[in-house]
Amino acid sequence: MKTLGYYNGKFAPLEEMNVPMLDRGCYFGDGVYDATYSRNHKIFALREHIDRFYRSAEMLDIKIKETKDETAALLCAMVSKVDDGDQFVYWQATRGTALRNHVYPEDMQANIWIMLKPGKIQNNFEKVSLITAEDTRFYHCNIKTLNLIPSVMAATRTARSGCHEAVLHRGERVTECSHSNVHILKNGVFRTAPADCLILPGIARAHLINICREKGIPVDETPFTVSEMMDADEVIVSSSSCLCRGAYAVDGVNVGGRAPEILDMLCRETLREFNEETDI
C-alpha cells in the first residue's frame, strides 16, 4: 500500500480513514504533533522527535496513555508495512473526544492519529528564495501544536510568490519561518534564534548546532534582526524536510553567497547524518 493511516488502534489507507466529529482537534485544534521522514523503512531521528512530541503534550496537559517506547514501536511497525521506504511520517495527539466545551475534563485520554505518505527530504544543495512576513502567532511557538493558521497563511503566500519559505519577524527580530527554523552565518559565527517561546526548537536546528560545535564553528543563540539577516554571509533554513539549505534571495534582494565553504560543509554533514541513520 502507498499510504497508511491510524486512529486509536484502527489501520487503513488514508482515504479510508475517518475520525469522530467530537474529537477536540476538530473544534479547537486541541492537540500536538510531530513529523519526520523515513528512508529504507528507517525513521530518521525518531527518539528526538518522540521526546519533543511528549514534551509538547506535557506542556498542554494532554495525557497520552502510550509510553514513548510504545509510540516509537508503533511508528516503526507502520513504516515497515508500506510499499515505499521513503515516507513522510506524521503523528499527532488530540486531547480526546467529548461534546464541544472550552473546558476539558481532567481524566481525558488523548486520541492518537498517524499518517504515512510517500515523501523524500529536499535537496540540501539547491538554494532557495525567501520572503518576509510579520509574525502574528501567539506566544507558545515552542509547543508543536495544531494551531497553525498563521503559518498556513504565510506558507500559502510564499508558494504563490514562487518562493520556498516565509521568514517571520516580530518587529525587527527574526523568529523562524512558517515551517522551518532560520539561521545566519556572519564572520564565521553560526547565529540562530534562542529557544524561547517565540520559536519551535527544531530537530534539524539541534543537529546543525552540534555539527558547528564539532567543527569548531562558534554558535550564537541570541536574537538577530531582519537587517542583520539581509547583511549576513549566508542565510540558512532547516527543518525535517529541508535539513540545511542556503538562501539566495529574500524579498527579491540577493543575500548570502559569502561563506560557501561553511554552508557546503553544513549541507554535507546534515545529509551524511541522515543517510547514515537510514542506511540498510
**Domain-embedded: residue 136:** yes
C-alpha cell read off for 278: 537510514
Instruction: Return the pLDDT at 90.
Output: 98
Closest by CA position to 53, among listed 37, 33, 67: 33
* pTM for the full predicted model: 0.97
C-alpha cell read off for 241: 524536510
- The reply to whether 20 and 44 lie within a common domain is yes
Q: What is the pLDDT of residues 19-46, one digit of tens each?
A: 999 999 999 999 999 999 999 999 999 9
Q: What is the pLDDT of residues 94-144, one digit of tens each?
A: 999 999 999 999 999 999 999 999 999 999 999 999 999 999 999 999 999
- Among candidate residues 68, 144, 186, 215, the one labeled active-site is 144
Domain that holds residue 11: 4-118
Per the prediction, the chain carries an average pLDDT of 98
- The reply to whether 105 and 138 lie within a common domain is no
**Domain-embedded: residue 123:** no
Helix or strand (DSSP H, E) at 38:
strand 31-39
Question: Active-site residue 117, yes or no?
Answer: no
User: Total domain count for the chain?
Assistant: 2
Instruction: Return the pLDDT at 52.
Output: 98
Mean pLDDT to the nearest integer, 250-277: 98
Q: What is the pLDDT of residues 182-212, one digit of tens each?
A: 999 999 999 999 999 999 999 999 999 999 9
C-alpha cell read off for 64: 497520552
Instruction: Return the pLDDT at 45.
Output: 98
Q: What is the pLDDT of residues 211-227, one digit of tens each?
A: 999 999 999 999 999 99
Helix, strand or coil, per DSSP, at residue 144:
coil
What whole-number distance in Å separates Cα of residue 81 and Cα of residue 12?
Answer: 11
Are 53 and 93 in contact by the 8 Å Cβ rule? The answer is yes
Strands 181-186 and 189-192: antiparallel
CA 51 and chain centroid, separation = 14
Helices (H), the chain: 24-28, 46-59, 68-81, 149-160, 203-214, 226-230, 260-278
- The reply to whether 139 and 270 lie within a common domain is yes
**Domain-embedded: residue 183:** yes
- The reply to whether 28 and 146 lie within a common domain is no
